[in-house]
Amino acid sequence: AGIKVKTGFGKFDITIQKSSKHPIAIIFEGTIDNYSNSLIDDYHYYYRQYVNRGWDIKIINTYDLINNYDQILKNIISDIEGKNK
């Protein structure tokens, strides 16, 4: 099947999967929700828990996303294709 993009959970804003292996979770840094909690503590928890399960965790700054959307999207797709073939 193709790439599946889903609404995230917890501190993950989006999850992306091409197959049942190596999902990617994305946290958008700079969103309003990030200011109400300690991003470092949350990142540390989710990073350790899910990397140990084979996930690739990415932090994307909203400013970078706005200014480099095409390149960030290409990088994500490249990561998906490289890990999930």
Helix (H, G, I), strand (E, B) or coil at 35: helix
pLDDT (tens digit per residue) in 9-56: 888 888 988 776 678 888 888 755 545 556 667 777 877 888 898 888
pLDDT in tens, 56-71: 888 888 888 888 989 9
Place of tokens 């949350």: 42
Instruction: Name the one residue in this structure whose structure tokens are 């294709």.
Output: 81
Q: Which residue has the higher pLDDT, 83 or 5?
A: 5
Q: Contact 24/79 with Cβ under 8 angstroms?
A: yes
> What's the predicted TM-score (pTM) here?
0.64
